[in-house]
Structure 1
Amino acid sequence: MSEQKLEIFNVLNFLNSGYELEDILKEGNFGTFPSAEDCINYLVENGYLSGEGETISAESISKKYTVAQLKELLKENGLKVSGKKQELVERLLPVLGESSGDYELTEKAKEFIEENQWIDLYMFALVAFRFDDYETYVKASAEDDVQTALKFCDEIISRALMSNQFLVFIDALSAKAHVYAYDGDYESFLDYDLQRFILGLNPIMDLDAQTYASYDIINAANVINLKNVTERFNFGSLKKRFDQIWAKSHIKSITVPKKTSYKFLQKALSGADIEELNFDLREKYFNKKYGI
């Protein structure tokens, strides 16, 4: 039921934000519903949507989409893209289900969205962690949504440190940064994303062979976040902030020296190829240290 609750919230929340139902259903992943049409039927039957939907026919799909657009929609839904236009239309028909028609959110739907706003924060910052676990944590918390999320991240960080789970630790650090961003605290977002970059180059736990094999020393998403926030806001000298975060990180075993780490940060923010940077880091620092 928890996964279904997540899917229902996302559909209703997007509708409440002004998106068209047809567009939401085309983009969505409905793991607990066989099809988009089943999702709509559930929402109507359970009192979340009211009104009548206009059934989409093969003819209406054929008129609305070009062959290229049909193939793109099929590709997005993991379906074959070969064949004539009519074949593409027939293949896509079950996916599109029903259009938005005259459906409207009911009061029940609006109350559901209001009561479960914490899911919006989960989707923004915490999707690296199990929804069921976070839902249980939320139910037991007396804090507001942001404080609950921050404490959840702190507990994961603490457990990861004790159990030597470096990738979980890094994910929780990144998640905490995003919780601050969700709350509009972009300075804290920058600090935690900087720490994620620094500790990415200087793991504070031993990496076993399996972890090391799948580990991106410089994470592309992390670099994009840092680039966006430093371009959008002026929080003073990045070098000075980098030095402060380095000091707070209490790195006992340095893998990449501080000056070199900052140079790699500058290169990454300047648009250097991340794969090449990671290759250089592995060759010069990581392979020797971890005996690979």
Structure 2
Amino acid sequence: MVKFNCIVREDNIGKTISVDGMVDAVDIEETLKTRYAYLYQSMLDTGYKVKVNHCTYFKEIVFKKKVVGFCAYTIINSVSKLSLVSTYILPEFRKRGLFFDEINHTYEEGNEISIFDPPSFVMKLLIKYGFAKDIGNNLIVSSIMLDVPSTSITDIYGSDSVEYSDFTYSTNVYDYNLCGSVIIVDEEKEIVYISKSSDKDNERYDCLEKRANIDDEYYVNIIKHVQNNKQIIDKFINNIEQSYASFNEDYSDKPDFEDFKKLNQEQSERELSDYFNKIDETKNSLYDPSSIDKEKYILAFQNVGIYDFIRTFEENNNIELTNSIIKIDYDFKPDYIKNLVLNEGYISNESSSEEVDEYLNSLKVNDLKNILKDNHLTVTGNKSELVDRIKEYVPSSSVLDKEYSISDKGLEFIESHEDIEFYNLFLKNFYYYEFKDFLNCHDGSITEVSKEFLKEHLYSSVKKKDNKAYTDSINALAFINELNNDLTEGLYFELKKFIIGLNPLFLDESSYNYYQPISKTNIDNINLLLFKGDFNLKEEFKKAWDSMEINNFMVSYSKSFKTLDEMLSGEDRDYMNDKIRELYLTKKTIHDKLDKSKQSTLDKYLTFN
């Protein structure tokens, strides 16, 4: 238990201390002494020292309304980028992902961040949470830049002195053997700097002795290893950057589906619809949303999220990186899918009782007492009693530092939901709930049933005058046929897509402001299919034209075919789009129809063959 009273924030939001945003105007030690005496005392007790005593922003770390730590940021080299110069969390509240949450939240707010002269424990946390990667040869590459002041550089190779004094260098390479950041100043001249290791790292890992024994070859090998792994490094950093590129959104209104399931059955349909509309508005449905079985929908949507979480984890083996990616792709509240996957045991770092028994019995009494102390349990009794107490009160994941892995239950889930792989590839713009029901009610292969499902959407979209649903259905049908090497059907749907692009009779007036009749992807696909197959383009175009679900066209058959022929011959797409818009999409007759917003004046353009 915590032996002191933490500051409480009833709104569970940490405060930020700054002096009008002035650079390095906050005295960290003085702030801790006067406002957070319990944090300061804990730092003294654990031997933690701040490397830099001034910061621009001092942020509280809050857990369950208690202020349990802090992060201090400054601004380096007059660039508007936050550099984390110090962070501390009370020992009682570690191993709860609070450091990850802070970094993650700072990214989500759209800030660029770096870390100032980090010790090895910070680099281990970055690896744990997916922000850094071990690339071998004692080297770590970090997606978060590491800031190293020239005063912290102690080991220099290839030069007599540091090139710039009173300057802060940036790097993303760290040597965990020497516990220092690596700055490759000049690859050709083979100039390398390494920052000094912290006192704690020197004490634990004998860094000073290791540094005294390294030779020139050690530095040269660092340069070669970084050069040889440049592709891996670039790919890793790009993946992280892409994961956070769209992370500037507010999650506060996103539904928590456990809350949804707990809604009382007697609540009004209006309340349920409010929850439902937050989720459903972007996908195409065959039905009126009010008629959908919402409980079945929620379970189906969850299953897609679980499946994608397990598959993504399978690729990167990092639970927090997977969580970050999934939070971008799904409109769940943060951590919902991660918690669901872990709680259901699809991915686990738990050890078997036999593994725990074997490990605990191999430890000495003092080691067992240390485990109990770390978990705030009594340390009295003989070895057998200590082992029993740990087994009863300490989670196995805290006893054995076991990596997360997909469990047998997780593998069974993947095997029983393979249709989600197909759904993700072709049908993301449609509801998995409807697709699953359609699949269960129709015989045939998943490919054939999916085509029928999309044709249903095609006919439904014409009745509803829904251009998005129509084009999404055409796109998916073309894609399925092309990947299954059915070139004829693929070309048929690509041509239909081209025709409806020139004749967008289902769009409302506001959409014309940005509408592009001709798609580059569509033209590229038609070109590729014509190259692969032996087709008479005129015959195939006529077949697609005659099968269109509309019977009056803004752009005639001959002009549509001529436009296609010009595009396939390399005509400029922007020029053609402007030309089509000028000739056909600004006529008063079209706008007269559109002013009535897709109403009965469009009916004469529709037919069902």
User: TM-score normalized by structure 1?
Assistant: 0.67
Provide Cα deviations, 1:167-208, integer angstroms capped at 9, x if missing partner.
3222222222223234443431221111111222134x5654
Provide Cα deviations, 1:211-253, integer angstroms capped at 9, x if missing partner.
544543223443343344445x224333442233223337532
Would you say 1:159 and 2:460 are equivalent positions? yes
Residue 83 (structure 1) aligns with: none
Q: For 1:117 and 1:197, locate their aligned partners in 2 and report how far apart those are by CA, in whole Å.
A: 32
Q: For 1:169 and 1:187, locate their aligned partners in 2 and report how far apart those are by CA, in whole Å.
A: 20
Query: Is the 8 Å Cα contact of residues 153 and 175 (structure 1) preserved in structure 2?
Result: yes
Q: For 2:572 and 2:528, locate their aligned partners in 1 and report how far apart those are by CA, in whole Å.
A: 17
Q: For 1:220 and 1:212, locate their aligned partners in 2 and report how far apart those are by CA, in whole Å.
A: 18
Tell me how far 1:290 sits from its aligned partner: 0.9
Would you say 1:258 and 2:557 are equivalent positions? yes
Structure having the larger proportion of residues in strand: 2
Paired residue secondary structure (1:291): helix
Change over 3 Å in CA distance of 1:110–1:213 after alignment to 2? same
Q: Relative contact order (C-alpha < 8 Å, sep 6+): which is higher? A: 1
Letter in 2 for 1:237: N
Residue 493 (structure 2) aligns with: 192
Q: For 1:32 and 1:208, locate their aligned partners in 2 and report how far apart those are by CA, in whole Å.
A: 31
Change over 3 Å in CA distance of 1:25–1:186 after alignment to 2? farther
Provide Cα deviations, 1:255-289, integer angstroms capped at 9, x if missing partner.
22333323332444455543432221011123225
The percent identity for this pair of structures is 24
> What is the aligned counterpart of 1:20 among 307, 316, 321?
316
Residue 407 (structure 2) aligns with: 106
Letter in 2 for 1:11: F
Residue 518 (structure 2) aligns with: 218
Change over 3 Å in CA distance of 1:270–1:103 after alignment to 2? farther
Tell me how far 1:34 sits from its aligned partner: 1.3
Tell me how far 1:5 sits from its aligned partner: 1.9
Q: For 1:290 and 1:173, locate their aligned partners in 2 and report how far apart those are by CA, in whole Å.
A: 24
Tell me how far 1:51 sits from its aligned partner: 4.1
Q: For 1:120 and 1:26, locate their aligned partners in 2 and report how far apart those are by CA, in whole Å.
A: 20
Letter in 2 for 1:169: Y
Letter in 1 for 2:591: G
Q: For 1:224 and 1:25, locate their aligned partners in 2 and report how far apart those are by CA, in whole Å.
A: 35
Query: Is the 8 Å Cα contact of residues 3 and 32 (structure 1) preserved in structure 2?
Result: no
- Mapping 1:113-152, distance limit 5 Å: 113-152=414-453
Change over 3 Å in CA distance of 1:175–1:237 after alignment to 2? same
Change over 3 Å in CA distance of 1:46–1:116 after alignment to 2? same
Change over 3 Å in CA distance of 1:230–1:155 after alignment to 2? same
Would you say 1:290 and 2:596 are equivalent positions? no
Q: For 2:311 and 2:484, locate their aligned partners in 1 and report how far apart those are by CA, in whole Å.
A: 18
Q: For 1:26 and 1:271, locate their aligned partners in 2 and report how far apart those are by CA, in whole Å.
A: 42
Paired residue secondary structure (1:162): helix
Change over 3 Å in CA distance of 1:221–1:33 after alignment to 2? farther
Structure having the larger proportion of residues in helix: 1
Letter in 2 for 1:44: L
Unaligned runs of 5+ in 2: 1-297, 351-401, 593-609
Q: For 1:264 and 1:46, locate their aligned partners in 2 and report how far apart those are by CA, in whole Å.
A: 56
> Alpha carbon RMSD of aligned pairs, Å?
3.2
Letter in 2 for 1:122: Y
Letter in 1 for 2:405: E
Q: For 1:199 and 1:143, locate their aligned partners in 2 and report how far apart those are by CA, in whole Å.
A: 30
Residue 244 (structure 1) aligns with: 543
Letter in 1 for 2:347: L
Letter in 1 for 2:345: G
Residue 9 (structure 1) aligns with: 307
Letter in 2 for 1:31: D
Q: For 1:11 and 1:221, locate their aligned partners in 2 and report how far apart those are by CA, in whole Å.
A: 29
Change over 3 Å in CA distance of 1:272–1:47 after alignment to 2? farther
Query: Is the 8 Å Cα contact of residues 474 and 493 (structure 2) preserved in structure 1?
Result: yes
Would you say 1:34 and 2:334 are equivalent positions? yes
Q: For 1:114 and 1:46, locate their aligned partners in 2 and report how far apart those are by CA, in whole Å.
A: 16
Q: For 1:193 and 1:114, locate their aligned partners in 2 and report how far apart those are by CA, in whole Å.
A: 33
Paired residue secondary structure (2:585): helix
Q: For 2:426 and 2:433, locate their aligned partners in 1 and report how far apart those are by CA, in whole Å.
A: 15
Query: Is the 8 Å Cα contact of residues 198 and 261 (structure 1) preserved in structure 2?
Result: yes
Q: For 1:125 and 1:209, locate their aligned partners in 2 and report how far apart those are by CA, in whole Å.
A: 29
Q: For 1:249 and 1:228, locate their aligned partners in 2 and report how far apart those are by CA, in whole Å.
A: 23
Change over 3 Å in CA distance of 1:46–1:154 after alignment to 2? same
Change over 3 Å in CA distance of 1:234–1:131 after alignment to 2? same
Query: Is the 8 Å Cα contact of residues 125 and 179 (structure 1) preserved in structure 2?
Result: yes
Change over 3 Å in CA distance of 1:184–1:48 after alignment to 2? farther
Letter in 2 for 1:264: T
Letter in 1 for 2:346: Y
Query: Is the 8 Å Cα contact of residues 47 and 109 (structure 1) preserved in structure 2?
Result: yes
Query: Is the 8 Å Cα contact of residues 462 and 549 (structure 2) preserved in structure 1?
Result: no
User: TM-score normalized by structure 2?
Assistant: 0.35
Paired residue secondary structure (1:287): coil
Change over 3 Å in CA distance of 1:276–1:6 after alignment to 2? farther
Matched residues, number = 238
Change over 3 Å in CA distance of 1:116–1:209 after alignment to 2? same
Query: Is the 8 Å Cα contact of residues 44 and 50 (structure 1) preserved in structure 2?
Result: yes
Query: Is the 8 Å Cα contact of residues 487 and 533 (structure 2) preserved in structure 1?
Result: no
